[in-house]
């Protein structure tokens, strides 16, 4: 049985952080398809292929969505604040040759 995708994988939800970051402008994500999925001890990770409606020249062709497991009430049971901080704050400040190979963080 495959775990259901979280709301963060919905095309409408994906559009907002991509717009806030300036990656897609007025375009919107029209579809997100699972390319791969991994369930690990503390997290779920999905690679999603994105299709757009409108011009999204700088929009990523795929994104990685990583979430912590949920507790009984549906809230994230764990978060990895250090990993998030690295991709959001540290990676963009790396020298250009290294920064280009680090994934961008579009949302928390």
- What mean pLDDT comes out for the span 14-18? 92
pLDDT band at 36 (very low <50, low <70, confident <90, very high): very high
pLDDT of residue 3: 64
Contacts 24+ apart (CB under 8 A), 93-96: none
Describe the strand order of the beta sheet including 62-68 as a list of residue ranges.
28-39, 43-53, 62-68
- What mean pLDDT comes out for the span 47-54? 93
pLDDT band at 1 (very low <50, low <70, confident <90, very high): very low
| Residue scoring higher pLDDT (50 or 41) | 50
pLDDT band at 75 (very low <50, low <70, confident <90, very high): low
- What mean pLDDT comes out for the span 66-94? 72
- What mean pLDDT comes out for the span 10-36? 91
Burial class of residue 72 (count of CB atoms within 10 Å of its CB; 0-12, 13-18, 19+): exposed
Residue 97: pLDDT above 80?
A: no
């Amino acid at each position: 049985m495959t775990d259901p995708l979280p709301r963060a994988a919905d095309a409408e939800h994906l559009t907002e952080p991509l717009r806030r970051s300036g990656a897609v402008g007025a375009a919107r994500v029209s579809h997100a398809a699972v390319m791969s999925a991994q369930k690990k001890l503390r997290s779920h990770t999905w690679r999603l292929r994105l299709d757009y409606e409108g011009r999204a020249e700088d929009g990523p062709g795929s994104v990685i969505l990583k979430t912590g497991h949920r507790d009984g009430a549906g809230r994230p049971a764990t978060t990895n604040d250090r990993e998030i901080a690295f991709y959001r704050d540290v990676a963009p400040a790396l020298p250009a040759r290294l920064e280009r190979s680090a994934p961008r963080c579009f949302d928390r």
